[in-house]
Amino acid sequence: MSTVLIIEDEADLRAVLEYNLRRAGHAVRACARGSEGLDQCRARPPDLILLDLMLPDTPGTEVCKAIRQDPALKTIPIIMLTAKSEEVDRVVGFELGADDYVTKPFSMRELVLRIQSILRRAQPELEPTGVVVFGRLRVDKGAHRTWVDDREIELTSLELRLLLLLHERKNRVQSRETLLEDVWGMDSDVTSRTVDTHVKRLREKLGPASAYLRTVRGAGYRFAETPDEAED
């Protein structure tokens, strides 16, 4: 049974979320303040967090940052809940490391399905094991650790999935729609800016190894066939 932590200050919505998630078979904990949510995460890390952006004490953005900066919590999937629907708000959410972004009002059935999809992808027993070495890049898939030139870099679970998928399909162009479906488990009606934002963040973290991620104008992205190609 997976545990979902709800950090949401609207009491009615919080109650509805608790009810529906329990019906779907999840254990649920809930609170109304960001500080309390962080305390609960640190005391008993959940399997997934539903995080409202507009909280009475600490903005949801700051809560998300704190979770992503904590080595013990950084891989916990986060779904942001917000009344804001502009694309720029979605981009900010993803830049902070959110795994998904749901705009209020939303379909409870769709939210439950998104939660289940993210939890399936996050199951450690489903993750491949072994070590990937590609030029300056090294990834221990089982340990969820990544190094560039022997310097360890911190990737979110979603960023790691994106990197590994592109590597596994190296030299084959992956469209944004394909990446949305295979990495995020989302339909292509979700803005393709989601992919661009995550690729940008991934490149920033990879530093000199970012050259392995190639942009194919008008088509999508591909991983270099060989490390030497990136030097061309």
Contact 44, 73 (CB under 8 A): no
Q: Are residues 167 and 207 in the same domain?
A: yes
Q: Are residues 116 and 26 in the same domain?
A: yes
pLDDT tens column, 174-206 = 988 888 878 876 654 456 677 888 899 899 999
Q: Are residues 117 and 15 in the same domain?
A: yes
pLDDT tens column, 89-131 = 666 677 777 888 888 888 898 898 888 888 877 664 434 568 8
Q: Are residues 60 and 135 in the same domain?
A: no
Q: Are residues 64 and 23 in the same domain?
A: yes
Q: Are residues 188 and 222 in the same domain?
A: yes
8, HSE (Cβ side, Cα atoms, 13 Å): 24
Which structural domain, as residue segments, surrounds residue 169? Answer: 127-231
Contact 51, 70 (CB under 8 A): no
Is the per-residue pLDDT at 231 higher than 70?
no
**Domain boundary residue among 102, 124, 146?**
124
**Domain boundary residue among 104, 124, 144?**
124
For residues 76 and 98, give the distance between their C-alpha atoms in angstroms, rounded to a whole number. Answer: 10
Residue 156: CATH number of its domain = 1.10.10.10
Tally the domains of the chain.
Answer: 2
pLDDT tens column, 206-216 = 999 999 999 99
